Amino acid sequence: MTDERAGVRVHIETYGCQMNAYDTSAIHGLLAARGYGRAESPLEADVVLLNTCSVRDLAEHKILSRIGELRSLRRRGLAAADIIGVCGCMAERLGDGLVAGGRGPDLVAGVDQYDQLPDLLDAILRGESAPAPVAVGHRDDVHYVAPPEAYPTNNSHLVTIHKGCDYRCTYCIVPETRGPQREKAPLLIEAEIHGIVARGGREVTLLGQNVTAYRSGDLDFAGLLRRLETIDGLERIRFLTGHPCDMTDDLIRTIAELGKTCPWLHVPAQSGSDAVLRRMKRLYTRERYLAMIAAARRWIPDVTFSGDIIVGFPGETDADFRRTLELVEEVRYDLLFSFKYSERPGTPAAKLPDDVPPEVKKERLAELMAVQDAIWDDLAAAQTGAVWEVAVEAAARRPAGSWRARTPNNRKVLLHGGDHRPGDLVRVRVTGCEASTFEAEPIN
């Protein structure tokens, strides 16, 4: 270890998706290997990195004000924060623009440049680098691996299986910020999971913009799942996100057959109107989406769904929006993430007039959320008395003697009573549901 980094502690704030959560632990791993320490709070950190998200305008605004806030804490001597860095999608999208004017971060590293971070930090600490180095641009060969100890044992360990996206949904900035789809080799994925299992992990969540589009040589996503199923000691495999177009009958049947692959599908519909889906370039129709849902229900016992919806896409009429509500009623998602359309510079949709007024977007979002809440209340109430097998995750903070647990189909459960260890599988009876968490008691 050289002197300049002795005792230097790094804090990373993570915004946006799970992919960023994974990258954050990979960055911690890369920096730890170079001798950098870790700080739990930005106030105690010498280096604060913001791992950012560009998917909506609001997310970017929050991060820009966070940079200002950190600079102000530093000025007032309330935080060391000698180096403030921006990583992730905003770094990639805005690059030099982030540091222009001298009021931005001290360092910018895009999503494929994290292996440069130790050198960049070393150089800044030696006072040898440009005022604010900017490393951006996509590369083919980069697959950082998060160290297995980065996650608490028995919660789901994130494993990114590819980077980027080859779809071109017209509203989405991700193909630009994350670049084209590049696969992590199956052997690397397996080695990573072996490492997790060796540290006591039993569950993984495979991550990617479209994991269902994974392809390495002849191996597609169904084939990868089959291979990962054979890993001894691994008990559950979850995955995020699935594109409806890749949810083929073959993949659905594979998920149904495999014992370790969990029956929970995150399949964003984005809209229930064919006209809007066409303008979004989602490449499926409402009918095809619903046929995929029906096939999954037919073949995968106890399957649950979650999804994403965008309201107020350019040209979305009230009739289009009603079609979305009807679709949501038909699918009956366990969990729905709904967003107001946010125009992203440079995307194809940015050429369309953003013509749904803000107050209409707001009303539609509220109505959609109310419909989803009613669906969930109904769905959840119907589970009282059901018998499930849950995996215990950890002792719950309250009430005393209760445990956080999860079903294979991703329902959260608060388990009252019994003496358990994280990772235990317990048979329970559902006694009720509070918000998104079921209450249950162990049975023999």
Quick check: 83 and 48 in contact, CB under 8 A? yes
Nearer to ligand SF4, 167 or 299 (CB): 167
Helix (H) or strand (E) holding 441: strand 437-442
Rounded to 5°, the CA angle 217-219-221 comes to 130
DSSP 400: T
Q: Which of 25, 47, 26, 44 is nearest to 36 (CA)?
A: 47
Query: What does 182 bind: ligand SF4, ligand 5AD, none (CB cut-off 5 to 8 Å by kind)?
Result: none
Query: What does 210 bind: ligand SF4, ligand 5AD, none (CB cut-off 5 to 8 Å by kind)?
Result: ligand SF4
Q: Is 15 in the site for ligand 5AD (CB under 6 A)?
A: no
Nearer to ligand SF4, 258 or 335 (CB): 335
Query: What does 67 bind: ligand 5AD, ligand SF4, none (CB cut-off 5 to 8 Å by kind)?
Result: none
Structure tokens at 148: 């297995």
CA distance 301 to 322: 30
Q: Is 327 in the site for ligand 5AD (CB under 6 A)?
A: no
What amino acid occupies position 396? A
Nearer to ligand 5AD, 25 or 324 (CB): 324
Nearer to ligand 5AD, 125 or 310 (CB): 310
Q: Is 56 in the site for ligand 5AD (CB under 6 A)?
A: yes
Q: Name residues whose C-beta falls within 8 Å of residue 256's C-beta, 6 or more positions apart in sequence.
A: 263, 299, 300, 301
Q: Is 279 in the site for ligand 5AD (CB under 6 A)?
A: no
Nearer to ligand SF4, 80 or 174 (CB): 174
Q: Is 264 in the site for ligand 5AD (CB under 6 A)?
A: no
Compute CA 61 distance to the chain's CA centroid, rounded to the nearest angstrom.
Answer: 20
Look up tokens 């060391």; give the residue. Answer: 80
Q: Is 182 in the site for ligand 5AD (CB under 6 A)?
A: no
Q: How many other C-beta atoms are found inside a 10 Å radius of the C-beta of residue 226? A: 15
Report the nearest approach of ligand 5AD to the CB of residue 169 (Å). Answer: 7
- In the list 342, 384, 431, 437, the residue contacting ligand 5AD (rule: CB under 6 A) is 342
Q: Long-range contacts of range 70-78, CB-CB < 8 Å, 24 or more positions apart?
A: 70/42, 71/103, 73/42, 73/43, 78/43
Q: How many other C-beta atoms are found inside a 10 Å radius of the C-beta of residue 168? A: 11
Query: What does 209 bind: ligand SF4, ligand 5AD, none (CB cut-off 5 to 8 Å by kind)?
Result: ligand SF4
Q: Is 36 in the site for ligand 5AD (CB under 6 A)?
A: no
Count of residues interacting with ligand 5AD (CB under 6 A): 12
Query: What does 167 bind: ligand SF4, ligand 5AD, none (CB cut-off 5 to 8 Å by kind)?
Result: ligand SF4
User: Which residues contact ligand SF4 by CB under 6 A?
Assistant: 165, 167, 169, 172, 174-175, 209-210, 243
Q: Is 344 in the site for ligand 5AD (CB under 6 A)?
A: yes
CA distance 220 to 210: 12
Quick check: 289 and 282 in contact, CB under 8 A? no
Bridge partners, residue 87, by sequence = 51, 109
Report the nearest approach of ligand 5AD to the CB of residue 279 (Å). Answer: 13
Residues forming contacts to ligand 5AD in the complex (CB under 6 A) are 55-56, 171-172, 268, 270, 308, 310, 339, 341-342, 344
